[in-house]
Amino acid sequence: MRTPSTPGRPGRPIRIKVVNPNTTASMTTLVEQCARAVAGPGVTVDAVNPVTGPESIESHYDEALATPGLLAEIAAGEVEGYDGYVIACFGDPGLLAARELARGPVVGIAEAAMRSAGYLGRSFSVVTTLARTIGHAQDIAHAYGVASLCAGIHACEIPVVELERDPAARATILAACHSALVDDGSDVLVLGCAGMADLCSWLADELGVPVVDGVAAAVTVVEGLVRAGLRTSKRGELAPPPVKRRSTAYA
Ligand code: 5HY
């Protein structure tokens, strides 16, 4: 139900917290710029990264180590009064645990990008960083029920932290996107890493197809859900975690 205090009403800005679950601050800055570029009127966006965890997430081990820091940022966001959250990592690590902790909507960039791509064409191709992450991306496409729309998942074999350092990265990613579209016969391209967010409009111009950056897609989805007065259901599976002793740094 929408009331004068509903976020998005005049004088009550919508506050979105974007969490980059790796510890690379320069990537968090890039993600924040791309997130703020699509945020609507009356929406504030803050991007953060944990101080603990891996500098990049390119394996199941990285995801496991990044998740406690991510969840600590979500828990802090509840105290700080944020209305919604974006998990800015293409594996959507800790998504359901974060939804248990947060009252407002929590959206992962992979889910947002894949579902948004479904609105824009017959099928989409994903271009991510390392080939070893393709299996996980396939698993979450199945989990989200969009595997039938996903024509293929490809890797440009550029490590996450090299995306902003490697002068050849743009050309390599463009070539990988082009061959993905040709090989898959798809008509939409999904960027498989938050660190590629700033390449979105340039790639779309070069490729002539819609290119979906999950950071922008997720911010748009969170903003829309909050503006509509919608929050995570607390009836059942995503209710707050049971109260108990948890000997971890953040519980
Ligand atoms: C990401 N890793 O978006 C993922 C990309 C990947 O640190 N940020 C990361 O390779 O899965």
Per-residue pLDDT of 177-222, as tens digits, reads 999 999 999 999 999 999 999 999 999 999 999 999 999 999 999 9
User: Is pLDDT of 248 > 80?
Assistant: no
The pLDDT-based confidence of 42 (bands split at 50, 70, 90) is very high
CA of 29 relative to ligand 1 center, distance in Å: 15
Closest protein CA for atom 9 of ligand 1:
57
In the chain, the amino acid numbered 49 is N
Two tokens, residue 160: 């996450």
Q: Which atom of ligand 1 is nearest to the CA of 66?
A: 7
CA of 10 relative to ligand 1 center, distance in Å: 36
Residue 2 has what pLDDT?
58
Note the pTM of the prediction, 2 decimals.
0.96
Q: Which residue's structure tokens are 């609105």?
A: 119
User: Is pLDDT of 250 > 60?
Assistant: no
In the chain, the amino acid numbered 153 is I
User: Is pLDDT of 251 > 70?
Assistant: no
Q: Which atom of ligand 1 is nearest to the CA of 136?
A: 11
The pLDDT-based confidence of 124 (bands split at 50, 70, 90) is very high
CA of 53 relative to ligand 1 center, distance in Å: 13
d(CA 213, CA 245): 39
Q: Which atom of ligand 1 is nearest to the CA of 133?
A: 11
Other CB atoms within a 10 A radius of the CB of residue 19 amount to 29
Between 6-15, 50-59, 129-138, the lowest mean confidence (pLDDT) is in 6-15
pLDDT, mean of residues 161-181: 98
